[in-house]
Structure 1
Amino acid sequence: MRLVTFRRTGRLEQRAGALREDGGIVDLAAADRLLEGGLLALIAAEPALLERARAVAAHAPAVEDAVLCAPLPRPAKNIFCVGKNYHEHAKEFAGSGFDATAKEVVPEAPVVFSKPPTSVIGPGEPIPAHLDPTNSVDYEGELAVVIGRGGRGIRKADALGHVFGYTVVNDVTARTLQHKHRQWILGKGIDGFCPMGPAILTADEVPDPGALRLTTHVNGEKRQDAPVSDLIFDIPTLIETISAGISLEPGDIIATGTPAGVGIGFDPPRFLKSGDVVRVEVPGIGVLENPVA
Structure 2
Amino acid sequence: MKLVTIDNNGKWTLGVRTDRGILDISKAAEVYGAGEASLPLDVMAVIQGGASSLDSLQSFLTSLPTDLEPSILRNEEEVIYGPCVTNPQKLICVGLNYRRHAEETNSPIPEYPILFNKFNNALSGHQASISIPNATNKLDYEAELAIVIGRRAKNVAKEEALNYVFGYTTVNDLSARDLQLRTPQWLLGKSCDGFAPLGPNLVTADEVGDPNQLVIQSYVNGEIRQNSNTADMIFACDEIVSYISQHMTLEPGDVILTGTPEGVVLGLPADQQVYLKPGDEVSIYIEKIGTLTNRIIADA
Distance 1:50 1:69, change over 3 A: same
**How far did residue 132 of structure 1 move?**
4.4
Is the counterpart of residue 120 in structure 1 residue 119 in structure 2?
no
**How far did residue 17 of structure 1 move?**
1.2
Contact 1:73 1:122 in 2 (8 A): no
Contact 1:137 1:271 in 2 (8 A): yes
Q: What secondary structure does 2:112 align onto?
A: coil
Q: Which amino acid aligns with 1:63?
A: R
Larger of the two Rg values belongs to structure: 2
Which residue pairs with 2:81 in the alignment? Answer: 68
Q: Which amino acid aligns with 2:7?
A: R
Contact 2:43 2:86 in 1 (8 A): no
Is the counterpart of residue 141 in structure 1 residue 143 in structure 2?
yes
Which residue pairs with 2:58 in the alignment? Answer: 54
**How far did residue 37 of structure 1 move?**
4.4
Which residue pairs with 1:282 in the alignment? Answer: 286
Q: Which amino acid aligns with 1:144?
A: A
Is the counterpart of residue 105 in structure 1 residue 102 in structure 2?
no
- The sequence identity of aligned pairs, in percent, is 39
Which residue pairs with 2:221 in the alignment? Answer: 219
**How far did residue 218 of structure 1 move?**
0.5
Is the counterpart of residue 84 in structure 1 residue 96 in structure 2?
yes
Which residue, out of 34, 44, 47, partners 2:48? Answer: 44
Structure 1 window deviating more from structure 2 (30-39 vs 233-242): it is 30-39
Which residue, out of 138, 159, 162, partners 2:161? Answer: 159
Q: What secondary structure does 2:294 align onto?
A: strand
Distance 1:289 1:106 in 2: 30
Distance 1:110 1:68, change over 3 A: same
Which runs of no fewer than 5 residues in structure 1 stay unpaired? 95-103
**How far did residue 76 of structure 1 move?**
2.6
Structure 1 window deviating more from structure 2 (104-113 vs 242-251): it is 104-113
Is the counterpart of residue 6 in structure 1 residue 3 in structure 2?
no
Which residue pairs with 1:16 in the alignment? Answer: 14
Q: How many residues align?
A: 279
Q: What secondary structure does 2:108 align onto?
A: coil
Query: Pairwise CA RMSD of aligned residues?
Result: 1.5
Contact 1:147 1:248 in 2 (8 A): yes
**How far did residue 181 of structure 1 move?**
2.2
Contact 1:7 1:67 in 2 (8 A): yes
Q: Deviations over 1:19-66 (max 9, x none)?
A: 1246x2102233338335411111111100101112223537313443
Contact 1:81 1:254 in 2 (8 A): yes
Distance 2:87 2:169 in 1: 15
Contact 1:71 1:196 in 2 (8 A): yes
Which runs of no fewer than 5 residues in structure 2 stay unpaired? none
Which residue pairs with 1:234 in the alignment? Answer: 236
Which residue pairs with 1:199 in the alignment? Answer: 201
Distance 1:35 1:76, change over 3 A: farther
Distance 2:100 2:79 in 1: 39
Distance 1:292 1:125 in 2: 9
Q: Which amino acid aligns with 1:238?
A: I
Distance 1:217 1:21, change over 3 A: farther
Which residue pairs with 2:105 in the alignment? Answer: 93
Aligned ranges for residues 185-196 of structure 1 at < 5 Å? 185-196=187-198
**How far did residue 207 of structure 1 move?**
2.1
Structure 1 window deviating more from structure 2 (153-162 vs 132-141): it is 132-141
**How far did residue 75 of structure 1 move?**
2.1
Q: Deviations over 1:212-258 (max 9, x none)?
A: 11110001110111111110000111011111020000000001000
Q: What secondary structure does 1:68 align onto?
A: coil
Distance 1:127 1:179 in 2: 21
Structure 1 window deviating more from structure 2 (232-241 vs 26-35): it is 26-35
Q: Which amino acid aligns with 1:281?
A: Y
